[in-house]
Amino acid sequence: MFTGADKITFQESAKICYEKLRVLLEREKIETPVRIRLTGDDIAQFRHVPRGRQRFPKA
């Protein structure tokens, strides 16, 4: 997730994980410790890219 064409930054990963957890807690009651897997679909859904700015400048 941190390399390749659709890579995310460490700063983005915290925000994306927070948003996924927030949505999971709104939808489900979680009673036991759970391992939450972050997928490419999660990144696409929760990632925020400001308009008018390229995410990674091309070298």
CA distance 14 to 17: 5
pLDDT band for position 52 (cuts 50, 70, 90): low
pLDDT at 12: 84
Question: Rounded CA gap, 47 and 30, in Å?
Answer: 24
**pTM strictly above 0.95:** no
pLDDT value at residue 58: 53
Of 58 and 9, the one with more pLDDT: 9
Percent over 90 (pLDDT), the chain: 0
Check: CB of residue 20 under 8 Å from CB of residue 43.
Answer: no
Q: What is the mean pLDDT of residues 28-36?
A: 76
Q: What is the DSSP letter of 21?
A: H
State how far the Cα of 17 lies from the Cα of 46, in Å rounded to an integer. Answer: 8
